[in-house]
Amino acid sequence: MQALANVTQITFSPSLPDDRTVNYFQSQPAMVGEVLLQAILLEVCSFPKPGLVTPVSTGSHSDMNLQTFLLSSSAIAPCFTLCAEAGFTHRKPLSRLLKKIRPIGIDYENRLLEVTRGINTQRGILFSGSVLACAAGYLSGLNQPINSISLAHCIRQLCQGLCESDFAVLKTRPAQTAGEILFTKYGVTGIRGEAEQGFPTIAQIGYPALIAAFNKRLPLRHALVDCLLMLMTQCEDTNVLWRTGPQQLAELKLRASEIVHRGGISAPGGEARIHQLNEWCCQHRISPGGSADLLALSIAMYLLCHSHFPNDVTQERI
């Protein structure tokens, strides 16, 4: 990497004080793909996470563990680079770009299910991560700044009309997929709606939560767990909604909010409270996978905007 010391620099606008200068090389397709892989691996390895798979727990799941996620993460990693490359080389209207990358995602969804033997570990992040990677590739291909605002704007354009297009089929047949059934039953648009709006939960909640945690000099593990909890307080998590319904989702938000209000994982008794929430989630089969995906996307957005974590946040001894 020493040979890259003199790569071109992009300096972000002074109006965006939380977005630092980043190497232009970091926004090339291969590096964008690397960032997305780092993000999903860091999410999987974070702990404790209520109801979710971690290095020390399978959470609410009996059909998957850490190894399952490592296998599927490795399988889908090339997809992010390919989607970034598609964005990087795209010069036609942005409205045409999503149609270009969706077949790539379908191919890697099949690969994911192949390596996990049919277990759905990461379909959600495969779609949303591909969209984020594509947007980052597109901006860097035009030599444009990459920051939370430019990414959100690009993603809104990229995914314009996505919900209307994807749910139009419901006019001619009954709902079949989980996303279609939840939309029909509750009007929830899930990750499609989030993408269509430019990932506001990431740009306005997850990403700022990471910045705030790093400004407080929290170790990386604590920063990621606190970010997840913050996302859980706001996310209309379709995984939870599908598995247990709206009442349990509302209760999960309240319980996560209480932990956040009391100072998160770093507060006295904070980690114990999170373990208690995990026990409750396991008891009720609750797995906030949507919030976990948003955590991975928040990590990816941070790395795309800043190129690396603060030097001291990775030094925690586990």
pLDDT for 26-70, tens place per residue? 449 999 999 999 999 999 999 999 999 999 999 999 999 999 999
Q: Which CA distances in Å does 254 have to 15, 44, 229, 258?
A: 35, 24, 11, 6
Output the pLDDT for position 201.
98
Residues 6+ away with beta carbon under 8 Å from 95: 157, 158, 160, 161
**Which two structure tokens, joined as six digits, stand for 182?**
């939840």
Q: Given the structure tokens 């704007």, which residue do they identify?
A: 153
What is the arithmetic mean of pLDDT over 263-286?
A: 97
Listed residue (126, 125, 121) closest to 103, CA to CA = 126
Cα separation, 41 vs 163, in Å, equals 29
The answer to whether residue 318 scores a pLDDT higher than 90 is no
**Amino acid letter for position 17:** P
The answer to whether residue 99 scores a pLDDT higher than 80 is yes
Output the pLDDT for position 24.
42
Cα separation, 216 vs 186, in Å, equals 39
Q: What is the CA radius of gyration of the chain?
A: 19
Classify the C-alpha dihedral 108-110-114-116 as positive or negative.
positive
Q: Mean pLDDT for the chain?
A: 90
Listed residue (80, 74, 101) closest to 33, CA to CA = 80
Compute the half-sphere exposure of residue 48: CA atoms within 13 Å on the CB side of its CA: 22
**Dihedral class, residue 287 (left if φ above 0, else alpha if ψ from -120 to 50, else beta):** beta
pTM as predicted = 0.90
Output the pLDDT for position 316.
63
Q: What is the Cα 202 distance to its own chain's centre?
A: 8
What is the arithmetic mean of pLDDT over 11-30?
A: 48
Output the pLDDT for position 5.
32
Q: Which has more confidence, 7 or 109?
A: 109
What is the arithmetic mean of pLDDT over 174-181?
A: 93
**Which two structure tokens, joined as six digits, stand for 95?**
């409205």
**Which two structure tokens, joined as six digits, stand for 20?**
């630092």
Output the pLDDT for position 183.
94
The answer to whether residue 12 scores a pLDDT higher than 60 is no
What confidence tier does 313 reach under pLDDT thresholds 50, 70, 90? low
Cα separation, 120 vs 129, in Å, equals 16
User: How many Cβ atoms are within 10 Å of 30's Cβ, its own excluded?
Assistant: 12
The answer to whether residue 98 scores a pLDDT higher than 50 is yes
The answer to whether residue 248 scores a pLDDT higher than 80 is yes
Cα separation, 318 vs 103, in Å, equals 40
Output the pLDDT for position 22.
45
What is the arithmetic mean of pLDDT over 245-254?
A: 97
% of the chain beyond a pLDDT of 90: 87
The answer to whether residue 7 scores a pLDDT higher than 80 is no
Helices (H), the chain: 29-45, 66-89, 97-115, 123-141, 148-158, 162-167, 178-186, 190-196, 200-201, 207-215, 220-234, 238-244, 246-261, 270-283, 289-306
**Which two structure tokens, joined as six digits, stand for 275?**
């373990």
Residues 6+ away with beta carbon under 8 Å from 177: none
pLDDT for 200-246, tens place per residue? 999 999 999 999 999 999 999 999 999 999 999 999 999 999 999 99
Output the pLDDT for position 17.
40
The answer to whether residue 4 scores a pLDDT higher than 60 is no
Cα separation, 42 vs 46, in Å, equals 6
